[in-house]
Amino acid sequence: MVMRLTGLATGMDIDQMVTDLMKANRMKVDTIFQKKQLLEWKRDDYRDINSKLLALRNNAFNMRLTSSYNQKTVVSSNTNILTATAGNSAVPSNYTVTVHNLAAGVSKTSTEALAPSYTGTGSERVVNTLGEQFGLSGEVTFTLAGAVDGVAKEQSFTFDTAAANINDVVKAINSAGIGINASYDSGTERFFLMTPGTGSESKIHVKADAENFLTDNLKLAVNVGADESNAHVGIDATIDFNDATGLKFSSNQFTLNGINFDLKSGGGQTVTVTVGRDIDAAVDNIKAFVELYNSTIEMLNTKMTEKRNKDYPPLTDEQKADMKEKEIEQWEEKARSGIFRSDLLLTSSYNKLRNAAMSRVEIEPGVYSSLSEIGINTKIYSENGKLHIDEDKLREALTNDPDKVMSIFNNTGETDSESGIAVRLCGALDAAMGSITSRAGSGLSQYDESYLSKSIRDVENQMERAEKRFKALEERYYRQFTAMEDAINMMNAQSAWLAQQFSG
């Protein structure tokens, strides 16, 4: 800031005089700033509205899915034998399941502790080579065969006993991708071979073991030979399901008739599995939808009807400097209110949402249904379309005719009248969000070409030009007062000289 020494000749407070002269011009600049602030508030509030519309749109999309209405409950009479859950296609009924045996893979373990795999302890611990651990020399070679996703896999392995150790054997088998896993427990000094999966397609087949490394050194009780009869094969789970007997599955977790089973124990025990409709889940989904719809409609109606308080324009930085933070918040809350009063875009969106929810649905040619038939209605006019749920009537509809309830929400057709409420709402919300984005942008793009963002940039340019004019005028006033001061100083000097001459 430039410090000016003024008023020495005239005795006038020139700084104050310039400030007073500039007040009218400052008001012009402030008016432009306030216009910009209102535009920014409107843009930001539009974007906030869009985020709320998106939440309803996502919920409405979920209401188009059969899973929102078709969830099932499953009860097992003995969870020690099996547990179960149901998919959308499961048919409500009672089912009898007899579990004869569980699915199992193949696992082979050293039958006794092996020679120590390391020497020393702590920081001095060293892993022994195969030669040191088992007293071997030269190379050991063996061939393993397994299966991955039902496809046979085979790999031969060769190790230099003077360089490789037991951990190298484990790593080589695990990285071979043949459907056989290996591990070694140095605490018990035992080697493990196992299949990652279960069922008759899982196998461990030792096709060759030239130096008897697997059988003699690793103490694995395995058959050796190229013939398939030497393979150790897993077991399928075997169950009876109602009248179907001897059903086999490669895993203890499988899906049958839309029911997801998890077998826990075999032995031929019979369990009753009861599948029913999960009315509670459907009611909860519809309640959540109605609550979100109501809050969205209420939000839009509040925005459109809120009165504009013109006594509270946006605050300038100078005004904020003299106020407390709480006072600023309260002022701006009032200044921000009513900026969407009678907004045509929100009004159009509001009306389309209400129409989408309240219009009847032609679920079949000439057959119409509406929310009121399943216990969802509006009440008094002053609630502006708020929906209310008669839960007893809704539960009755879901119990007696769940397909009708679902059709009211997710029916599809070529016209709006044939489309379900959730389908129509998705369309109305997509259109509303698109219009709002065109007007206010999304905030995600660096180059926002929306109507309001362009308007804000235009006002910013106006502000910049106004500020330049303001500063130029202020400087001109100071130059004029400075010139006046200089002239008066000169006159005073001349007067003093004349007075001195005459006094002599």
Are 273 and 337 within one domain?
no
Identify the pLDDT of residue 334.
92
User: What's the domain range around 220?
Assistant: 107-233
Residue 238 lies in a domain: no
Strands (E), 102-199: 107-109, 118-119, 126-127, 139-148, 151-160, 181-185, 190-194
Q: Are strands 361-364 and 367-369 parallel, antiparallel or unpaired?
A: antiparallel
* Of the residues 233, 268, 295, the one at which a domain ends: 233
How many C-beta atoms lie closer than 10 Å to residue 346's C-beta?
A: 21
Q: What is the pLDDT of residues 405-461, one digit of tens each?
A: 999 999 998 898 999 999 999 999 999 999 999 888 886 666 777 788 787 888 777
Are 130 and 217 within one domain?
yes
Are 313 and 259 within one domain?
no
Residue 88 lies in a domain: yes
Are 285 and 273 within one domain?
no
Residue 485 lies in a domain: no
Residue 16 lies in a domain: no
Residue 214 lies in a domain: yes
Are 189 and 331 within one domain?
no
Identify the pLDDT of residue 2.
45
Instruction: Give the span between the Cα atoms of 135 and 141, in whole angstroms.
Output: 16
Phi/psi zone of residue 7: left (φ > 0), alpha (ψ -120 to 50 degrees), beta? left
Q: What is the pLDDT of residues 62-97, one digit of tens each?
A: 999 999 998 999 999 999 999 999 988 899 999 999
Are 297 and 406 within one domain?
yes
Are 363 and 443 within one domain?
yes
For the chain, helix, strand, coil in percent to 5 are 45, 20, 30
Return the structure tokens found at 213: 């490394």
Q: Name the phi and psi angles at 363, rounded to 5.
A: -75, -25
Identify the pLDDT of residue 198.
97
Q: What is the DSSP string of 390-453?
A: -HHHHHHHHHH-HHHHHHHHH---SSGGGS-HHHHHHHHHHHHHHHHHHHH--S--SS---HHH
Are 223 and 336 within one domain?
no
Where do we find the tokens 């509809």? 397
Are 315 and 436 within one domain?
yes
How many C-beta atoms lie closer than 10 Å to residue 124's C-beta?
A: 7
Total domain count, the chain: 3
Residue 60 lies in a domain: yes
Residue 28 lies in a domain: no
Residue 431 lies in a domain: yes
Q: What tens-digit pLDDT sequence spans the chain (504 residues)? A: 444 544 554 556 666 766 665 566 667 777 878 888 888 889 989 999 999 999 999 999 999 999 999 899 999 999 999 999 998 889 999 999 999 999 999 999 999 999 999 998 888 889 999 999 999 999 999 999 999 998 999 999 999 999 999 999 999 999 999 999 999 999 999 999 999 999 999 999 999 999 999 999 999 999 999 999 999 999 999 999 999 999 999 999 999 999 999 999 999 999 999 999 999 999 999 999 999 999 999 999 999 999 998 889 888 888 888 899 999 999 989 999 999 999 999 999 999 999 999 999 998 888 889 999 999 999 888 888 899 999 999 999 999 999 999 999 999 988 989 999 999 999 999 999 999 998 888 866 667 777 887 878 887 777 777 677 767 777 777 777 677 766 777 777 777 777 777 775
DSSP code at position 147:
E
pTM of the model: 0.70
Identify the pLDDT of residue 1.
41
Instruction: Give the span between the Cα atoms of 383 and 230, in whole angstroms.
Output: 79
Are 146 and 213 within one domain?
yes
Are 266 and 339 within one domain?
no
* Consecutive H or E run containing 454: helix 451-503
Are 302 and 428 within one domain?
yes
3-state secondary structure of 310: coil
Instruction: Give the span between the Cα atoms of 164 and 158, in whole angstroms.
Output: 10
Q: Are 378 and 433 in contact (CB under 8 A)?
A: no
Instruction: Give the span between the Cα atoms of 192 and 186, in whole angstroms.
Output: 11
